[in-house]
């Protein structure tokens, strides 16, 4: 075999390998929800409404958890009646002051009593509002953590929810991608669970490189989000 063919036979595989490596610029991406939360109880009470289960969708403002709050409701009614009485006492005190039947101190005390009653009514109203846990955003139930008729304490975890509309892709990319990508650049993600290629747009590039793994965190958004995409799905991203 001539020298030319021997050299060619050595360089040809290397050329194919180098080309394949140059073309295989990829990293793993993970679909994440911008909003995900575990909602906790702000009062101690008995659960009496759990209208949703895992996988159920909801809109912002929908009821997620309801409590039996007859005691708090009655307390609010009581404070409301006391506030009405304090208001009447203040009006009477002002009338008596005009007739010089009482002094300024009595009016001041009546005003303070009315303001105190108003503050207590606001507190009672806030406690009644806490009798229902409503959705802070559109989303899906990840896990229901309580059941009806259970008694929960203050700060007990009730339900885990995730936003189903505001999704992003987090990419753990090699540090040399810093020279390849800029915000606004297009990319493609092959979602493992769906078997489809989905277009992305780079929206942010991490401000630091991990010194151990020599990787950088990159965030991207879907430019045409698939209807069946879910948080937790993953795939290969190529710029």
At 34-51, the pLDDT tens digits run 888 999 999 999 999 999
Rounded Cα gap, residues 236 and 145, in angstroms = 34
Domains, the chain, with CATH or none? 27-34+166-238 (2.40.30.170), 70-129 (1.10.287)
At 202-211, the pLDDT tens digits run 999 988 898 9
* Strand-pair partners of 197: 190
Confidence of residue 10 (pLDDT cuts 50, 70, 90): very low
What kind and span of H or E run contains 37?
strand 36-40
Q: Which residues contact 196 (CB under 8 A, 6 or more apart)?
A: 190, 226
pLDDT at 231: 87
- The Cβ of residue 135 has, within 10 Å, a number of other Cβ atoms equal to 19
Q: Nearest Cα to 156, choosing from 78, 41, 76?
A: 41
**Mean of the per-residue pLDDT values for the chain?**
87
* Strand-pair partners of 167: 33
């Amino acid at each position: 075999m001539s020298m030319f063919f021997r050299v060619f036979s050595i360089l040809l595989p290397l050329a194919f390998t180098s080309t394949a490596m140059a073309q295989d610029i990829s990293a793993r991406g993970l679909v994440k929800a911008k909003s995900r939360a575990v909602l906790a109880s702000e009062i101690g009470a008995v659960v009496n409404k759990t209208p949703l289960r895992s996988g159920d969708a909801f809109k912002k403002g929908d009821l997620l958890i309801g409590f039996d709050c007859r005691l708090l409701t009655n307390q609010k009614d009581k404070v409301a009646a006391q506030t009405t009485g304090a208001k009447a006492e203040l009006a009477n005190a002002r009338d008596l002051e005009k007739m010089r039947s009482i002094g300024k101190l009595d009016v001041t005390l009546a005003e303070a009593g009315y303001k105190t009653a108003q503050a207590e009514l606001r507190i009672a109203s806030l406690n009644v509002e806490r009798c229902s846990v409503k959705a802070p955003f559109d989303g899906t139930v990840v896990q229901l953590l309580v059941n009806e008729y259970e008694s929960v304490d203050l700060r007990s975890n009730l339900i885990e929810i995730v936003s189903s509309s505001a999704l992003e892709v987090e990419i753990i990319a090699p540090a040399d991608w810093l020279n390849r990508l800029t915000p606004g650049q297009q990319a493609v993600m092959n979602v493992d669970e769906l078997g489809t290629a989905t277009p992305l747009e780079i929206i942010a590039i991490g401000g630091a490189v991990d010194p151990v793994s020599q990787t950088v965190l990159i965030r991207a958004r879907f430019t045409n989000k698939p209807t069946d995409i879910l948080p937790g799905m993953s795939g290969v991203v190529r710029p």
